A and B are shown apart, each in its own frame.
Chain A
Amino acid sequence: MNKVLAIGNEVVVEAAIDAGASMFCGYPITPSTEILAGWAKRADVDKDLVFLQTEDEIAAGFATIGGILAGKKAWTASAGPGNILMQDSLAMAEAMRIPIVTYIAQRGGPSTGTVIFSQQELFLTAHGGNGEGMRIVYSPGNLQELYDYTFKAFDAAWRYRFPTFILSDGYLGKTFGEVIYHKGKTIDAKPMLQDKERIEKGEYVNIRNCYSLEDELAEVLNKDIEDFHKMSPKIVEYEELYCGDAELIVFAHGSVAEAVKAAVSMAREQKMKVGLFRPITLRPLPKEAMIKAVRKAKKIMVIEAAHGQFAKLVRDALFGATQAEYYSYFKPAEGIVPEEALEKIQEVL
């Protein structure tokens, strides 16, 4: 255990190295660039770490996949328009159960937009491919969680073999503060290609993502969907604050949830019966816990830095399970501070 003062993007690099990451391929884009540059500096010193700056994010994603196929714990990081380009490779990873880890620093969109506050890449990250979104998405809220869930992402990806994301934002990546680094154990990576033990037995693999028959694809896809559902109860994580007796339950995630957490504490000091439910895994979503949390609530509210992306997930999860009145506070690509979240809570209660 090691307590340090660090900036978010440094924390991410540290967590990846502690989790056994050995290769990074990327392309510079604000606000995730310090991760690429940070890894480059580490790789310059530690010759066991592979670094490749590619010609674009498309190549970054595919070269990362190449590294994983070769047996490396390879990963990448991107943001906004880069996240769009990476979907090409991420869809292939999803199809072929390649355990890629991708750090996404959300930035304001659409298009080039801005670079600090946003929660607008939720749909793109969770469902950006031409498939079913068989992906694991963690939404950390503070620096310590940035370390913990980046570390955890490497274990989840290689254990369950679904593309795994740390969905962060520019704000968290640039936050400076205290973090505890605690090395732990993560599952080892094995090569999908050039596994010498297998080849010595005269067995060769021919891996594909293209099928001639609909039945062939359906068989693969249905197995993946089944695996995803089987994994989900083991992987879902969430945080609840004062939900037990709450009349109003606020749903928020990521750095916005940190502001709401402060607002809810302030509201409780004013004797307001409000609670926070914060999914940490946005995919899979902790649906059962969400339903349980709102059982006694009269009102629910979704607060997010997007125009209803998270709200759609929440309402879908709660469909038919509650009669509570529904409220929302959407601030696409803008920061949300505790005081304004408190104001919204006061308006609703």
Chain B
Amino acid sequence: MSVPSCYKKETKPAKFCPGCGHSIVLKMLGQAIDELGIQKDAVFSIDIGCSLLAWDFYDVDTVQTHHGRTTPVAVGIKRGNPKSVVIAYTGDGGAYAIGLQSLLHSALRQENVTVITVNNTLYAMTGGQAAPTTMPHEVTDSTPNGDFTLESPLMGPELVSQIGNGDLYIARGSVSNPMTLKKYIKKAITHQMEGKGFSFVEALSICPTNWKTDAKGSFEFLKTMEEVYKLGEINRDGTS
């Protein structure tokens, strides 16, 4: 797979931990930006958490914001300049905990932006605490006995599909299948470019550092995630 031409070369290798899934998601997004020819028109708006390490990842106009606030900033940019192609990038804590209100209301109001959320089931930057996406019985830094009480983690794309109005594009991909993930990202951005309204892609990702897994263990963990989180494009009624 070729290195995206919109990469900011002098900041590579990137600052992510070895084996981090962010690099795969960002590579797919970079290729999507190249293939859609939107390097000059794109605005990349990023959250706090590990995602902030992408603040100088691309030669694309980028703004790093506050935790949970990348969606409202993206919305403001798009409202201020409807010709720009605005891509918000968040982790699962930013999208589903501290920033959930903004995510849902942006979908409700049919804001014409694209949000990409990386789900690795925990707060990675702060050392692996439980998130709304933590799976039942998952051991994290803040659930040491795996006694997290949620029967089901928060199903972000399904929730957005229930709340959002108008013509939504929603999908869940995984770093286990980067090409399909890229297809979803491209469809989401195209949805925005065609002025159709809110688009949202969740990317299941790996966090070897906080999962304390090796390469094999990381992909085994990801496989478990894919049993909990159904992959595919998601319809308005929440079905895939």
Contact surface of A with B, Cβ cutoff 8 Å: 23, 25, 50, 52, 54-56, 58-60, 62-72, 74, 88-89, 92, 191-194, 199-200, 202, 204-210
Contacts and interface: CB of A to CB of B under 8 A. Distances in A.
Given A194-B41, A194-B84, A206-B56, A70 B76 contact: yes
Contacts of A58: 69, 72, 102
B65 A62 contact: yes
Contact of B79 (A23, A56, A204, A205): A23
A194 B60 contact: no
A67 B72 CA distance: 10
Given A55-B105, A205-B62, A207-B64, A74 B76 contact: yes
B13 interface: no
B187 to A, nearest CB: 23
A54 B43 contact: no
Nearest to A52: B79
Interface in B72-127: 72-81, 83-84, 101-102, 104-105
Interface string B53-75: 00110111111111001011111
B77 A67 contact: yes
Nearest to B85: A194
A94 to B, nearest CB: 12
B63 A63 contact: no
A62 B66 contact: yes
A133 B56 CA distance: 27
B72 A59 contact: yes
11 contacts: A59-B105, A66-B74, A66-B79, A68-B76, A70-B84, A92-B65, A193-B61, A194-B43, A194-B81, A204-B61, A210-B55
A66 B8 CA distance: 23
B52 interface: yes
Interface of B: 8, 40-41, 43, 45, 48, 52, 55-56, 58-66, 69, 71-81, 83-84, 101-102, 104-105
A210 B79 CA distance: 25
Contacts of B73: 62-63, 65-66, 69
A137 to B, nearest CB: 22
Given A55-B105, A71-B81, A89-B69, A207 B76 contact: no
B77 A66 contact: yes
Given A71-B81, A194-B81, 7 more contacts: A62-B65, A70-B84, A194-B84, A204-B60, A205-B61, A206-B64, A207-B64
Contact of A74 (B62, B72, B80): B80
A204 B6 CA distance: 10
B69 A88 contact: yes
A191 B76 CA distance: 13
Given A55-B102, A89-B69, A210-B52, A62 B62 contact: no
Contacts of B76: 25, 52, 62-70, 74
Contacts of B71: 59
A58 to B, nearest CB: 7
A50 B83 CA distance: 14
A20 to B, nearest CB: 14
Nearest to A92: B66
A78 to B, nearest CB: 15
Contacts of B101: 55-56, 59
| Interface-centre pick from B41, B65, B80 (highest chain A CB count, 10 A) | B80
B66 A69 contact: no
A68 B80 CA distance: 7
Contact of A199 (B40, B77, B79, B81): B40
A208 B56 contact: yes
Contacts of A72: 80-81
Nearest to B77: A66
Contacts of A55: 101-102, 104-105
A23 B78 CA distance: 12
